[in-house]
Amino acid sequence: MRWTELKLFLWALIIAAILQFTLESKAQVQSKYKTVPLYKIGSKSPFAGEELGNAPAFRSWGRKVVVHYLNDSQRSNFKAQIANNLFVDPTGSPIDSFDIDANGRRVPRYFIYVMDAQGDFYISGFYLSSISDVIDFTHSSFFAGGPVASAGRMVIENGNLLYIDNHSPHYKPSRDVFQQALSELATHSIVPRKVEVFDIKSVDECLAALQKFKRQL
């Protein structure tokens, strides 16, 4: 290789390195919070392949479990906004997780949420077979199995956050990760009436938690 060609080659490497550094720095600046991937055992998640119905975690359920993964346009329908300390849906209506029971009383139920690296919340009342008998919606649905900055459950009444936790067998958010969601809420002057912290350690606990959560709905 001649000297001129070598210099061009070296300059190309330098420029490529600068571009890579710029892109990584930009990504870091844009990310307000750290994210966590799906829960893993070793190098693989027991929920891998759930969108195809092949997740090892669900093999004992007695039916094929296919988890619905949202695309970008679908995800936007679940993005919550915070206005005047209230959670509102994309149409501007206050989010409400209460149902009416057989006696006509309003009773609370859990909605699931995830928070992304920018501090945006995505909320859904769907959970486990709420879409159909065979297609399930879980915390992993929002970002198609991708990483999140927090995850758990909420109880919301007319936009007011009454309850929040970190109950997510799919992501098992630690206390520090859950604190990110609480910190983001604090920036909007939102203080939940009740905060609960869960610590799910094993895949068996994950499955038991999922089954218990399903029975609560």
Q: pLDDT of 37-76, one tens digit each?
A: 999 888 889 999 999 999 998 888 777 889 999 999 999 9
Domain borders along the chain are: 1-30, 32-216
Q: What is the pLDDT of residue 141?
A: 95
Strand (E) or helix (H) holding 178: helix 175-187
Both structure tokens of 214: 């399903």
Contact 71, 139 (CB under 8 A): no
Q: Tell me the pLDDT band of 216, cut-offs 50, 70 and 90.
A: very low
96, pLDDT greater than 90: yes
| Residue-wise DSSP of 185-216 | HHHTT---SEEE-----SHHHHHHHHHHHHHH
